[in-house]
Amino acid sequence: MKPVNEKSVKKTIKRNPPKTKDNKWVLRLYVAGQSPKALTAFANLKKICEEQLTGKYSIEVIDLLINPKLGNEDQILALPTLVRKLPVPVRKIIGDLSDTERVLVGLNLLRVN
Amino acid sequence: MKSPTGIQGFDEITAGGLPAGRPTLVCGSAGCGKTLFGMEFLVRGATLYNEPGVFMSFEETNEELIKNVASLGFDLEDLIEHKKIALDHVHIERSEIEETGEYDLEGLFIRLGYAIDSIGAKRVVLDTIESLFAGLPNQLILRAELRRLFRWLKEKGVTAIITGERGEETLTRQGLEEYVSDCVIMLDHRVTEQTSTRRLRVVKYRGSLHGTNEYPFLIDETGFSVLPVTSLGLEHIVSNERISSGISELDNMLEGKGYYRGSTILVSGTAGVGKTSVAAHFAEAACKRGERVLYFCFEESPNQLMRNMRSIGIKLEPWVHKGLLLFQATRPTFYGLEMHLAVTHKAVDTFKPDIVIMDPINTFILGDKENEVKTMLMRIVDFLKGNQITALFTSLTSSESALESSDVGISSLIDTWLLLRDIELNGERNRGMYVLKSRGMANSNQIREFILTDNGVKLREVYIGTSGVLTGSARVAQEAYENAGLLRRKHDIERKKRELERKRKLMETRIAALHADFKSEESEALKNIETEQNIIKLQGKDKIKMAVSRMSVLDKRKTKNHFKL
């Protein structure tokens, strides 16, 4: 696991939601504050995306401590939760994304043998 | 500190409600009313105690919930609009979820916290949180998180209800009772002999007294109601007031005053002896006094009963129209005993009668065990006594068993016991009635003949003589025989009187005749005496004349001749 510095996370949180384009992956990461789990999850996600989806993904990080209302839409209970909004169907991956293989399976980037 | 639920009867058995600011576990099998219990807790809290509430549902959607509880008269939409209640449907789809590493349920906390804060909720219901176990695979995390959740709820100071499905050997399938240990309530839905009964039990309640029994409850158009029936003690207020039984002769047998108000009366007897007639008389008399009567009929329909009573001159319809008399007709097998009890309670609470009649009580035995019937009747008696309601039960005794054995074994609960029996004699079947017991009064020890006339029930003194107790035509014959004897004697006397009179008259006529004889003789004698006296007088005169003449003439011869005359 590669340690992530706080600065980069903060920056991403503030980023505007990406415009949806064809063949673009829209990912949403729900977290509650900057807990160690949240930071780990973000770092893991970033790493996977860079490796697998270079250039064709956008990550929206939603902090439920700031916007508790936003959790209802995606029925968020567990944190952190990664939601694949696009391409459909919607997929949910819970946990800190440390199990890369399972994340890839969850995102449909890897077929289960 | 307790948080009243507003659920009828529940606050009584828990001495005030659920533990305030702490979570309570409500468990039970499917369809036993867990959701409704929680929902009523919130609705009553919002409407009666001004405590807004959050309902977090893991099973039903908000729309379903609103629709389902609307049938119980709860207008959730209105309450939601006024920010009294917040519904939140949590939906987890296992197939959508992939688990990768460490996580927690902070999302649920945030969501619940947000809902609580948005309306300032004091009450929370989580229904059924166990669904999470189906949605989330990692049980270790889940259990740790649930423990945290309940702690968090306590910290928030909300009174919470957590519902749970009943497990095989544990109270809940996932052992939630491990985490929620302040108060556990078990709901049960049992079916015995084809009739189902809902029951509620407070399994534990830390730091509080509570009733430990199973209490029947029912769910009807006004929501939940629990019956804290056995919590009643024997501390009824007693009344010295007497009320008429509606049959004056019967009143006479009971010191001339009738029953005590608030007492329990049992009319038992074999089939067709007129138990219902006694009950109807009592009902009519009460209505005439302006009292309210609740009549439970378990075997006849009200219309049939009214028609039958009309034939003996008891008119009940006017009282039904006036609203003083209410019939409640249900088959005993329609629901379980507890349900009957519950229905009775509810009916009594809403109608507020002065008199309750149950006709007949022993039909309950058909479906249930005697012991249970006795318990139920005891509860009913207790409940009615506690409310100062006079109760009249009728009980059918089978002809094989002893008349004194009321087969429901409730004789000890009864204050006044009227026994109707048939007396078979000379190919006739007649009815007899006596007061088997009547607590607190010098009742008559007589058996009376019980006659149904066009003007209601009449009690006649039976003939008790050398040939035993005679009733019916035997009594009539005996009476006629006696009457004939009496008549004969009367005639005798008359005759003797006449004879005497005749003799007196005879005597008097004789006296009169003697009188008459005597009178005629007397007058004759007097006449004779008179003539004699006249003669004597005349003779005297003549003598003087003669003497005078002799003196003047001195003719001796002439005088002498005169004397010879």
Mean pLDDT of the region B343-359: 87
CA atoms within 13 A on the CB side of B78: 8
Q: Is B299 a catalytic residue?
A: yes
Could you state, in order of their start, the residue ranges of all structural domains in chain B?
A: 2-231, 242-461
Lowest model confidence (mean pLDDT) among B7-21, B254-268, B459-473: B459-473
Taking only the tens place, the pLDDT of each residue in B483-539 is: 888 899 999 999 999 999 999 999 999 999 999 999 999 999 999 999 999 998 888
Domain residues for A10?
Answer: 6-15+24-95
| End-to-end CA gap in chain A | 25
Within a domain: A47? yes
Comparing B229 with B175, the larger pLDDT belongs to B175
- Would the CB atoms of A97 and B100 count as touching at under 8 Å? yes
Question: Which of A34, A72, A94 should one mutate to test binding to chain B, selecting the residue with the greatest count of B CBs within 10 A?
Answer: A94
- Would the CB atoms of A68 and B105 count as touching at under 8 Å? no
Smallest Cβ–Cβ distance between B110 and the set A68, A75, A96 belongs to A68
| Residues whose CB falls within 8 Å of the CB of residue B36, separated by 6 or more in sequence, listed in order | B69, B72, B219, B223, B224
Mean pLDDT of the region B427-453: 82
**What ipTM was predicted for this assembly?**
0.76
Within a domain: A33? yes
What is the pLDDT confidence band of residue B294, given thresholds at 50, 70 and 90? Answer: very high
Q: Which two tokens stand for residue A24?
A: 């673009």
Q: Name every residue in B having a CB less than 8 A away from some CB of A.
A: 88, 90-92, 96-108, 110-111, 113-114, 132, 135-136
- For position A111, what pLDDT does the model report? 55
Cα separation, A12 vs A58, in Å, equals 10
Lowest model confidence (mean pLDDT) among A100-104, B241-245, B263-267: A100-104
Architecture of domain B2-231: 3-Layer(aba) Sandwich (3.40)
**Where in B166-314 does DSSP place strands (E)?**
183-192, 195-205, 214-220, 223-226, 242-243, 259-260, 264-269, 293-297
* Diameter over CA atoms, chain A: 40
Within a domain: A106? no
Which CATH number is A68's domain given?
Answer: 3.40.30.10
Q: Is B494 a catalytic residue?
A: no
Smallest CA–CA distance from A91 into chain B, residue: B96
Same fold: B2-231 with B242-461: yes
Smallest Cβ–Cβ distance between B100 and the set A32, A71, A99 belongs to A99
Share of chain B above pLDDT 70, in %: 88
Catalytic residue (one of B12, B59, B300, B370): B59
Which residue reads 């004897």 in tokens?
A: B485
Architecture of domain B242-461: 3-Layer(aba) Sandwich (3.40)
Instruction: Provide the number of structural domains found in chain A.
Output: 1
- For position B298, what pLDDT does the model report? 84
- Would the CB atoms of A37 and B104 count as touching at under 8 Å? yes
- For position B252, what pLDDT does the model report? 85
Within a domain: A48? yes
Asked if B362 contacts B300 with a C-beta cutoff of 8 angstroms, the reply is no
Asked whether residue A18 carries a pLDDT value surpassing 60, the answer given is no
Q: Work out the minimum CA distance from B365 to partner chain A, whole angstroms.
A: 53
